[in-house]
Structures are given as structure tokens and as C-alpha cells.
Amino acid sequence: MEKVLLHTCCAPCSSAIIEWMLNNDIRPVIFYFNPNIYPLEEYNIRKAECTRYAQSKGIEIIDGDYEHEQWLECISGLEHEPERGNRCLKCFKMRLLASAQKASELGITRFTTTLASSRWKSLDQIAEAGIEAASQVPGTEFWEKNWRKGGLSERRRELLAENNFYNQQYCGCEFSIYKLKVES
């Protein structure tokens, strides 16, 4: 069974992907690295849901630690960018570089991300960030896959209901919360 490092943002986005991987003889190792999530309570809720699901499937989950201050430094100057703008690309690059490094550390060649399951995210930005991360970490390869296709979006909704997952209403960072409040 092939091992793949799966960067995971939340349980709703990861559940159908994990199920698909297991059904296709792929063993994911979940890497929860999301320093963008704000506030800390939100981060912990999402991490707990990912952990609960991983444990129910007997899958290893690795906590990448909460480095929000480093994330703020990384995206400094991009705070007013729109969703799918340069702030998001910079955020993806940070998170996927950490994922490539973790994969290498664990001796896992391929890594991918649940970010590619969200209709709110740019697949082009995710691919750019993943490919760049793999180019910086020898021995790793970014598995560029559109996790929205093949019935996975529908299955995501089913698993969300079946598992009674906490389902957040914003991507995670304080700038997306602000945008949500302005539009409400």
C-alpha cells in the first residue's frame, strides 16, 4: 500500500479524500498544518474534528503546530488582498512547503492537499504552490489532483452529515472572517 502525506485543512474537506484513498490502496498520513486559522479556538476545533475522523479510520495524524505569528509575517502586506488573491497563494506556499518537508522527513515521496477539494480555492494557485514546494524539497512530488471531481464533492456532503462534523463558514484566517462579516 502506497503512503501519501495528505495536508488537511479540516474534517469535512478531508473525509471523502481519505475514504477514496483507502478504497484505492493508498494509506494517507494526515498532516494538520494550518497556521492561518484564527482564532486559536477555531484551530483547535478543526484539529479535534480531523483527529476524531483519523482515529475512527485508524490513520496517523500529525499536528504541525500553531504558528500564527509566523503566518502573519509570511503574508504581511497582503492583508487586504481578496480571496483567491496573492495572500492565499502565499499562504498555500507556506503550508505546502511545510507539507513537502514533513513528507521528506517521514520518507514519503508524494504529498497532496485537501485544499484542492474546496470550491472557494483556486486550483491553479494550489498547483503552483505544491509544485514549487516539491521543487524545493528533493525527493518529493506534489500530487496535483482535483479532489472535487469523481463524486467526491457529493460524498463530502454525505460524510459531513453522517459524522456530524463541525463545518466552518470561512476559510480560516481573520481576513476571511472580516470579509464574511462585511457581506452579512
CATH classification of the domain holding 12: 3.40.50.620
In this predicted structure, what is the pLDDT of residue 42? 94
What range defines the domain where residue 152 resides?
2-183
| Domain count of the fold of the chain | 1
In this predicted structure, what is the pLDDT of residue 118? 85
CB atoms within 10 A of CB 31: 25
DSSP summary character for residue 167: -
Query: What's the pLDDT tens digit per position in 14-42?
Result: 999 999 999 999 999 999 999 999 999 99
35: left (phi over 0), alpha (psi -120 to 50) or beta: alpha
